[in-house]
């Protein structure tokens, strides 16, 4: 928990580097301020996860264990607080938090590693996305953050499944990529988990089925030739 003293911008035990002098004192205050601000932003994300998608400054102060005055030192308006919390989360999490071994393994292994990463952060990611939908009405910059995340996620998916897309060209490649992106949308993941909250294997199995179909050359040829 952050104490009010931590957010005061002062420290009774601050040691000044004799060589740095006042500059060291200022740098120390700035670092402490940045650290405490980040801790407050992390509390905003926790409020999102708990279902409070538009927390007031007072609610954030209570959650963070600091005074309202301390919150106002960092944020003047609630929408600024929400925007910075979403921006921090997206920046920290990257495209798909927890996804390792990008592009490595068999097709089935790559599908599993992707969906396992998604499931591991689903609760937080879904809450942040819902909060962003609300915040975006008042602050268009939030939409820019979500669009940037979506673009980087798409680029990561294309890299992750580069082997499966190799050799496809023209319409087949376009269809395969669009099908892959559709299957991997967070909204679809949330829908499946919502219907099967205690069965994360269901998510991986459904994802494997749909992506295997998306990468199947015979099916793609039938689709592009309209043979059904």
User: What confidence tens digit (pLDDT) does each residue in 187-227 have?
Assistant: 788 888 778 777 788 888 888 899 999 998 888 888 888 76
Q: How confident is the model at residue 9 (pLDDT cuts 50, 70, 90)?
A: very low
Same domain flag for 64 and 167: no
Q: Length of the chain, please? A: 228
| Residue 10 domain-assigned (yes or no) | yes
From CA 15, how far away is CA 172, in angstroms rounded?
A: 65
Query: Same structural domain for residues 137 and 54?
Result: no
Percent of the chain with pLDDT over 90: 24
Q: Are residues 179 and 220 in the same domain?
A: yes
Are residues 70 and 135 both part of a single domain?
no
pLDDT digits (tens, 9 = 90+) for 129-159: 899 989 988 888 899 998 888 888 888 899 9
199: tokens are 């069965």
Do 148 and 223 reside in the same domain of the chain?
yes
> With 50 as the cut, is the pLDDT of residue 98 above it?
yes
Does the reported pTM lie above 0.85?
no
Quote the domain boundaries for residue 14.
1-76
The 8-class DSSP code of residue 7 comes to G
Q: Which pLDDT value is given to residue 185? A: 83
Mapping DSSP to helix (H, G, I), strand (E, B) and coil, where does residue 199 land?
coil
For residue 91, being part of any structural domain is answered with no
Say how many domains are in the chain.
2
Residues 121 and 222 in one domain: yes
Please tell me whether residues 56 and 104 are part of one structural domain: no
* Domain shared by 183 and 133, yes or no: yes
């Amino acid at each position: 928990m952050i104490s009010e003293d931590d957010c005061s911008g002062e420290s009774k035990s601050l040691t000044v580097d004799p060589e740095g002098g006042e500059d060291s004192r200022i740098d120390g205050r700035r670092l402490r301020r940045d650290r405490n601000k980040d801790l407050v932003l992390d509390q905003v994300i926790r409020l999102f996860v708990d279902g409070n998608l538009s927390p007031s400054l007072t609610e954030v102060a209570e959650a963070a264990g600091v005074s309202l005055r301390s919150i106002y030192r960092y944020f003047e308006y609630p929408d600024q607080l929400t925007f910075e919390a979403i921006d921090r989360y997206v920046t920290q999490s990257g495209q798909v938090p927890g996804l390792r071994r990008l592009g490595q393994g068999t097709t089935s292994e790559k599908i599993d590693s992707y969906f396992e990463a998604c499931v591991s952060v689903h609760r937080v990611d879904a809450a942040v996305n819902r909060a962003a939908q609300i915040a975006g009405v008042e602050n268009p910059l939030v939409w820019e953050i979500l669009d940037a995340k979506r673009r980087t996620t798409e680029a990561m998916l294309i890299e992750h499944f580069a082997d499966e897309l190799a050799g496809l060209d023209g319409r087949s490649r376009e269809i395969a990529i669009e099908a892959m992106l559709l299957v991997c949308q967070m909204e679809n993941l949330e829908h499946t988990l919502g219907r099967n909250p205690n069965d994360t294997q269901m998510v991986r199995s459904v994802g494997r089925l749909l992506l295997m179909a998306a990468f199947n050359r015979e099916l793609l040829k039938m689709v592009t030739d309209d043979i059904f």
